[in-house]
């Protein structure tokens, strides 16, 4: 497949068609290695994501879910007069979750 580079000021952008990304099994956030051949062609390869990188991405998403306010849960905590305790437990859990990073 031949793709034309796009000039953006001093930068060059390599547009990769979505069909090709799907066919190769690449994902947003994949790190690509590139190698220039002697005939001036470029070979791109996706670095396989390491298990600890997948773990940390999952952990980041979980931490993000803990950060997001849950109005129903917080309303229940207010009704049960334990809102401050809930927030304290939340902070403790966020600190603990950071220890799980690989």
- Supply the pTM of this predicted model: 0.51
Q: How far is CA 78 from CA 26, 67, 82, 93, 94, in A?
A: 46, 18, 6, 20, 21
Instruction: Give the pLDDT score at 81.
Output: 97
**Do 42 and 20 share a structural domain?**
yes
**Residue 31 and residue 66 share a domain:** no
Residue 33, pLDDT above cutoff 90: no
What percent of the chain is predicted at pLDDT more than 90?
46
- The 10 Å CB-count burial string (b at 16+, else e) for 29-48 is eeeeeeeeeeeeeeeeeeee
Q: Are residues 38 and 68 in the same domain?
A: no
Closest of 23, 20, 29 to residue 50, by C-alpha: 29
pLDDT at position 20 over 90: no
Q: Is 25 part of any domain?
A: yes
Give pLDDT tens digits for 42-75. 888 888 667 888 888 899 999 999 999 899 999 9
Whether 1 maps to a domain, the answer reads no
């Amino acid at each position: 497949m031949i793709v034309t580079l796009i000039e953006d000021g001093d930068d060059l952008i390599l547009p990769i068609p979505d069909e090709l990304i799907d066919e190769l099994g690449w994902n947003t956030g994949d790190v690509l290695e590139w190698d220039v051949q002697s005939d001036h062609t470029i070979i791109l390869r996706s670095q396989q994501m390491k298990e600890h990188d997948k773990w940390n991405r999952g952990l980041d998403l979980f931490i993000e879910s803990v950060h997001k306010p849950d109005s129903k849960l917080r309303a229940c905590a207010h009704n049960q007069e334990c809102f401050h305790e809930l927030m304290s437990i939340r902070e403790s859990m966020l600190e603990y979750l950071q220890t799980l990073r690989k």
